[in-house]
Amino acid sequence: MPAGGRRLGPASRSGSTLSEAIHPPAAPSERQLEALGRALRQNPRLDAVLQGARQLELPDWYLAAGCIAQTVWNLLSGRAPDAGIRDYDLPYFDAADLSWAAEDRVIRAARDQFADLPAVVEVRNQARVHLWYQAHFGVPAPPYPSVEAAISTYPTTATSVGVRLEAQGSIRVFAPFGLTDLFGMVVRPNSVLAPRIVYEAKVRRYLQEWPELTVLPWPDSGPEAVLAPQSGEA
């Protein structure tokens, strides 16, 4: 799938099933996109975050990362759609104000928006990531030019996926590494930024919840450094 986002209609109802999107070695990307849309709509918490995020009117936002992949993994492995999902990541991009105070205002607004939702929603301005990333993870991060650039550096290819609810209920999908790893339950490292210890910590957590996953090893050339996470923000 190309790096650009794709849109799904509000109620796609083709004859293909979720399993049909997985098993053919070269499944059409449109089939995968339709399967993803149907899968995500089966997770009521995820759907509530999509609806609420649109009401927040955040600049350049997506619902992204683990909650997307884990919803699909749950359905593929016969679990409830929201089983094992610890949080729902809501990255946005606002380079106009890089202060912590501005980001904190957005976080507080999101906390109010999702106060009645039995789920943790993590809202972060990806334009600020370079200000604190090295202190947390031991490797420097260049400033991101966009939220899509940030999603493209997430530690695994399967979780480097973002979705956004747009007009008339259509879903925009950003998946720079495609969707084959996601539907194949393959955890493949994306070593462009995150260090090895971050990837391996996620792998251990994933395997506890989804032992059916196929995990690929960290490449020898990937970054290794890490520091213990620090409290507070830059």
- Chunked in runs of 10, what are the mean pLDDT values of the chain (234 residues)? 42 36 45 92 96 93 98 97 97 97 97 96 97 93 96 96 88 92 96 94 96 93 45 34
Q: Kindly state whether residue 171 falls inside one of the protein's structural domains.
A: yes
Q: Kindly state whether residue 230 falls inside one of the protein's structural domains.
A: no
68, 159 in Cβ contact below 8 A? yes
pLDDT of residue 224: 54
Q: Kindly state whether residue 221 falls inside one of the protein's structural domains.
A: no
Q: Kindly state whether residue 52 falls inside one of the protein's structural domains.
A: yes
Q: Kindly state whether residue 234 falls inside one of the protein's structural domains.
A: no
Let me know how many helices (H) and strands (E) the chain has, helices first. Answer: 9, 8
pLDDT of residue 222: 53
Helix, coil or strand: residue 91: strand
Q: Kindly state whether residue 97 falls inside one of the protein's structural domains.
A: yes
Domain encompassing residue 123: 6-215
pLDDT of residue 29: 78
The set of residues, in sequence order, having a beta carbon less than 8 Å from that of 9 and lying 6+ positions away, is 37, 169, 170
pTM for the complete prediction? 0.83
Helix, coil or strand: residue 189: strand
Per DSSP bridges, beta strands 120-125 and 87-92 are parallel
Domain count for the chain, please give it. Answer: 1
pLDDT of residue 190: 95
Helix, strand, coil shares of the chain as percentages rounded to 5? 40, 15, 45
The set of residues, in sequence order, having a beta carbon less than 8 Å from that of 1 and lying 6+ positions away, is 29, 32, 33, 175, 176, 178, 179
Q: Kindly state whether residue 10 falls inside one of the protein's structural domains.
A: yes
pLDDT of residue 8: 45
pLDDT of residue 223: 58
Q: Kindly state whether residue 33 falls inside one of the protein's structural domains.
A: yes
**Euclidean distance between CA atoms 11 and 37, whole angstroms:** 9
